[in-house]
Amino acid sequence: MGRSQNPELERKILLKALSYLAGRDRAEGIYTSICRTVVEELPVDSCSIFLYDSKSNSLHHVASDARTAGALLETEDIRLKVNGDSRFSRCLRGDSRPVVLEEGDVDPLLNTSGFKRVILFPLTSRGETLGLMAYASLPGSPVPEEGDLGILGAIAAVAGAVALQSRLEDELERSEERYRVLMEGARDLVFVLDGGGRFLYVNPRCRDMLGYEAEEMLGRYFGEFVSGESWAQTVSALRRVVSSGERFLDYQWVIARKDGRPLTLDVRASVVVSGGEILRHQGIARDISQEKALHEELLRRDQELDETRSNEERMRGYLTVATLAQEEERARVARELHDGPVQYLVALRRQLDLLEKLGNRKEQVEVLKEIDSLVERAIQDLREFSRNLRPPILDDFGLSYAVEWLVEQVQKAGIDAKFTVEGEPRRLDRDIEVACFRITQEALANAMKHSKASTVEVSVAFREDVVEIRVADNGRGFSPPDSLTSLARAGQMGLVGMYERAELLGGSIRIDSEPARGTTVTARIPLRKSRS
């Protein structure tokens, strides 16, 4: 490319072209101005710009200017034959160098006859050919020389830049149109805020969701609509986004509808940031008020449930303490009875024996004997009462001995009672031993009191992690109650106590009974660890 013959002119034209580019003209206007400047300032009679459409593989004429009428290299849309032997085609397909047609050259694509020289420059931008520029000179006019090619090329480059920008704008417009159609029809609220947080756009959903017309919101600051807390959260989320370089953010808006009703919106937003400043901030907001209400209702119910549970736990705690206290009290009373009145009665009996031996009057001796037997009965009763309150055998020897002792008591009452042990009998935690003992005691008491059974079988099974007690009678059976509450209401606390003791230790009670079929009570208590 030759050196310019007139750098001053070159500068002038380029500045003009660039000012078109910087201006707000539509591309067509810029093309026309470029062509006019060329024919005014350069040794060119006619200047035309054609754009190439790759989809239809055709050239379109977009602008021309000519020094004299009729000198236009103008044309309708041309279908380019890609393989055609055309300079135009070659110019489009080739590199960015100009193609020159001299007088007499015939081009199958475009009639250039009547011109002395036609110089074609491709309009390229970013490696893509967007069209071409044709400079034509009439015979007898000055023609552009080698030295003018630089400025002609530069002008073509400016036109190329305009073509690219215009194409990008078209694409943007098309995609914005698509975007707009999407947004207008969206079920969610779509909004665009400017850098200052003012609404640039809201889709028509705002009418249904917020009760505002879009126009009422445009230009207003988002903080006017959302709650103070939402505003603060949004602002800090935006700050985070700017400093982290992220583009996307999620937050919630509690926004006041026009009628004052608050609405909770889940917002997914993105921002356009430049130089640490937010230029745009757009989001899609979904109404989650209903979901939120549901969530809160669930939370409330959860909390209620927790409270009920903790009430239950408290009750259970009281019950444990009460049961333990009851056991302590029984043990203490049993000890007191054994150590106090029983010992006094024993001593009294010895004294009566002595008196009997010393006595001489027959009637006196008879009375003393009578007193002695009464005392003897009192001692036995008290001992038994004390044992039943809290048999020392349980504390001293453990569950299997204590249950065996219970079975012996049943035998003494004239019922055929059997006792079996499964597994290796061992000492268990005190509360487990006491609970098992009391459950067995109550089951046996019920069998004796209610069942009219002739046989009772009691077994204690010591397993790895559970102790299982079974009390089975062959009596008349009964219909076990549906619920403990009905039992408690009926004042029958025996079964209630059994269930509660088992439950307190994480165990269970099962009663299999049917009228006339006998009753089997099975208690299963999990073991924490054996005492030895």
Ligand X SMILES: Nc1ncnc2c1ncn2[C@@H]1O[C@H](COP(=O)(O)OP(=O)(O)OP(=O)(O)O)[C@@H](O)[C@H]1O
CA distance 423 to 462: 5
Binding mask 438-457 for Mg ion (x = CB under 5 A): --------x-----------
Would you tell me how many other CB atoms lie within 10 Å of the CB of residue 116? 18
* By CB under 6 A, residue 451 contacts ligand X: yes
* By CB under 5 A, residue 494 contacts Mg ion: yes
* By CB under 6 A, residue 478 contacts ligand X: yes
Task: Give yes or no for a contact between 88 and 80, defined as CB atoms under 8 angstroms apart.
Answer: yes
CA angle (462 as vertex; 456, 496 as ends), nearest 5: 55
Point out which span in 238-246, 249-257, 411-419, 469-477 binds ligand X (CB under 6 A): 469-477
Q: Within positions 482 to 521, which residues make up the interface with ligand X, using CB under 6 A?
A: 487, 492-495, 519
Smallest distance from ligand X to CB 432, Å: 21
* By CB under 6 A, residue 252 contacts ligand X: no
Closest of 469, 473, 471, 493 to residue 481, by C-alpha: 493
CA distance 330 to 218: 82
Smallest distance from ligand X to CB 337, Å: 21
Instruction: From the list Mg ion, ligand X, none, pick the one residue 331 interacts with, judged by a Cβ distance below 5 to 8 Å according to partner type.
Output: none
Q: What are phi and psi of 247, to 5 degrees?
A: -110, -20
Torsion over CA of 202, 207, 213 and 216, rounded to 10 degrees?
A: -70
Smallest distance from ligand X to CB 322, Å: 16
Residue closer to ligand X, measured from CB, 84 or 481: 481
Smallest distance from ligand X to CB 386, Å: 20
Closest of 192, 182, 211 to residue 287, by C-alpha: 211
Task: Give yes or no for a contact between 71 and 176, defined as CB atoms under 8 angstroms apart.
Answer: no
Binding-site size for ligand X (CB under 6 A) equals 16
Task: Give yes or no for a contact between 526 and 466, defined as CB atoms under 8 angstroms apart.
Answer: yes
Residue closer to ligand X, measured from CB, 144 or 477: 477
Residue closer to ligand X, measured from CB, 220 or 450: 450
Task: Give yes or no for a contact between 404 and 394, defined as CB atoms under 8 angstroms apart.
Answer: no
* By CB under 6 A, residue 112 contacts ligand X: no
Residue with tokens 């269930």: 499
Binding mask 71-110 for ligand X (x = CB under 6 A): ----------------------------------------
* By CB under 5 A, residue 409 contacts Mg ion: no
* By CB under 6 A, residue 450 contacts ligand X: yes
* Length of the chain as a residue count: 532
Binding-site size for Mg ion (CB under 5 A) equals 2
Residue closer to Mg ion, measured from CB, 152 or 487: 487
Q: Within positions 258 to 277, which residues make up the interface with Mg ion, using CB under 5 A?
A: none
* By CB under 6 A, residue 413 contacts ligand X: no
Closest of 333, 531, 331, 324 to residue 435, by C-alpha: 324
In 3-state terms the chain splits into helix, strand, coil percentages (rounded to 5) of 50, 25, 25
Residue closer to ligand X, measured from CB, 386 or 451: 451
Smallest distance from ligand X to CB 518, Å: 8
* By CB under 6 A, residue 522 contacts ligand X: no
Instruction: From the list ligand X, Mg ion, none, pick the one residue 519 interacts with, judged by a Cβ distance below 5 to 8 Å according to partner type.
Output: ligand X
Closest of 485, 467, 396, 395 to residue 425, by C-alpha: 467
For residue 459, the Cα-to-chain-centroid distance in whole angstroms is 53
Point out which span in 160-168, 311-319, 425-433, 470-478 binds ligand X (CB under 6 A): 470-478
User: Are β-strands 58-66 and 416-422 bridged in parallel, bridged antiparallel, or unpaired?
Assistant: unpaired
Interface positions with ligand X (CB under 6 A): 446-447, 449-451, 473, 475-478, 487, 492-495, 519
